[in-house]
Amino acid sequence: MSTGRSSTSVQSDSESGSGSEIRTYKGQERALRAGRLGTTGLLLSVLAASAPLMVVAGVMPTTYGVMGIVGQPLLFVILGVVLMLFSVGYAEMSRHVHNAGAFYAYIARGLGPTAGAGASVVALVAYSAMQVGIYGILGFEISGIFATYLDITFAWWIPALVAVVVVGALGWLKIDLNAKVLGVLLVVECALVVIFDVAAIADPGKEGLSLQAFNPETLTGAGLGTALCFCIAAFVGFEQAPVYAEETSRPQIVVSRVMFLAVGYAALFLALSAWALSVATGPGQIVKVAGEQGPGLLFGLTESRLGSTFTDVLHVLFVTGMFAALLSFHNVVARYAFAMGREGLLPAAFGRTNKTSGAPAAGSLLQSVISVAVVLAFAVTDDKPAGDPTVPVLHLFTWMGNVGALGVILLMAAASLAVIAFFVRRGAGRTQAGRLVASGIAGLALLAIAVYTVKDFDVLVGAGPGSSLSWILPGVIGVALVGGLVYGAVLRSAKPEVHARIGLGNEAFQLEKAAESESAAAQV
């Protein structure tokens, strides 16, 4: 695919153009504030998106009980290896391209601006869907806590809307303050899960400290494809590190370091926690028990080993962990909108930052408006009494979450191909051969997972065989992709200068300013 760029527009791949003269070029705040995040702050920000406690309490019991996959711990290890391979090329790309548009910027640099335009729309839809879906389960859990402990009942959408407002307000603040909020919540959340892991291993079920869950034979079964989709969604967050490249100190080092740390930590944490669940009940009983108790599995096991007080605290941290994920996704969507506005894919207002905090204010507001609209739409159709664990609030979580996961999987697969194209077209195929092979393997694996996701979408969203939801919901991502590609093609024809700078970020304005200077000098 042709990139449609001039020969000068692909210069300085390793420059982010974040100087003050770029930030205020033509009176616009076109750059995010540099140097706000170090390794620790960035790592905590991206790990928060994975909501570890939500995965342990929700995803793992579902994978055990509904899909019947005893080898879930091994599955996390395998997926960790795949995502490490993906990160090899993705991290190298981050050294050359610093852009808050991350996925779509990389895809634009490798596969061309039109493909980048398609990826930008998919990214905006996918991450927005994942965030909005969490509002549903957050509201449901908060209403349940108030009903259980305070005997106060109210509809799930009330705390959901309050969360939208709080997250939106934090989205306007400095990213380093956001990182501190995320960090505190994440550390406490993970610490409590690790305490459970230790307690489960110290007090195993009747089968003892069995390693049966790591036996490859436990990965067989009709539910494997669906389990792959669920489990890879648990890793979502690590790939967001390049989104913050413009706001980090030493992005060439910090971003790639954080990605490897995030994938390694997530794989270890998730595999250990999934194994601890199987040890606590026994591998021979985990499918049966998880099927009976569902999301209550973790809390039941902690109460019998660590007491009711610990379990009560865990319930509260379950909510704060979801809040941390909401804030993390909100920040990512706001920065994608900022990058798109800066490059002309969205109105120019989205490409400006808050002069006080340096945050992408318009993008933050856009995400808040979308969240309010979707939550209200599901609230209007909700005729169930407060505390009733049925539709539509849980549909909001499952439908939006899986639509978003599909989009992110496809973006990762496309980014793997873009990495290969990027380095081959620049004559670096031999020097980067190892990284390109790793990207190719990861890309093929991710495409296979995407196919399984679409094939089993009716199971993922709890719809019956033949349900229209099995094609309508993944069709949302399809429409976003096609719409973005058409938009990119129109820009190429109608506004070639806008099309040419897709994925370039501030670098485009460096080149634009240089061209204006040359023109002025020529006139003199």
Question: E strands, 162-203, where?
Answer: none
For every residue of 378-433, DSSP letters joined together read: HHHT--SPTT---TTHHHHHHHHHHHHHHHHHHHHHHHHHHHHHHHHHTT-TTTTH
Round the average pLDDT of the chain to a whole number and report it.
83
Q: Is the pLDDT of residue 128 over 80?
A: yes
Altogether, the residues listed in the chain come to a count of 524
Question: CA-to-CA distance for 197 and 268, rounded, in angstroms?
Answer: 12
Q: In sequence order, which residues have a C-beta less than 8 Å from that of residue 79 and are 6 or more positions away?
A: 228, 231, 232, 235, 267
Q: Is the pLDDT of residue 393 over 80?
A: no
Q: Is the pLDDT of residue 382 over 80?
A: no
Over the stretch 13-26, which tens digit does the pLDDT of each residue have?
443 333 433 344 44
Question: CA-to-CA distance for 280 and 282, rounded, in angstroms?
Answer: 6
Q: Which stretch of 157-166, 393-402, 446-455 has the lowest confidence by average pLDDT?
A: 393-402
User: CA-based angle 96:101:107, to the nearest 5?
Assistant: 65
Instruction: Supply the pLDDT for residue 12.
Output: 40
Q: Which stretch of 141-145, 226-230, 347-351 has the lowest confidence by average pLDDT?
A: 226-230
Please state at what angle helix 157-171 crosses helix 175-202, rounded to 10 degrees: 130
Q: Which stretch of 32-46, 110-124, 309-323 has the lowest confidence by average pLDDT?
A: 32-46
The residue-averaged pLDDT of 161-175 equals: 84
Mean pLDDT is highest, among 12-21, 63-72, 96-105, for: 63-72
Q: Is the pLDDT of residue 301 over 50?
A: yes
Sign of the dihedral defined by the CA atoms of residues 150, 152, 155, 157, in that order: negative
Per-residue confidence band for 521, with pLDDT thresholds at 50, 70 and 90: low
Over the stretch 429-439, which tens digit does the pLDDT of each residue have?
778 889 999 99
Q: Is the pLDDT of residue 519 over 90?
A: no
Instruction: Supply the pLDDT for residue 389.
Output: 47
pTM (two decimals): 0.84
Rg (CA), the chain: 23
Q: Which stretch of 9-23, 88-102, 158-172 has the lowest confidence by average pLDDT?
A: 9-23
Question: CA-to-CA distance for 58 and 277, rounded, in angstroms?
Answer: 12
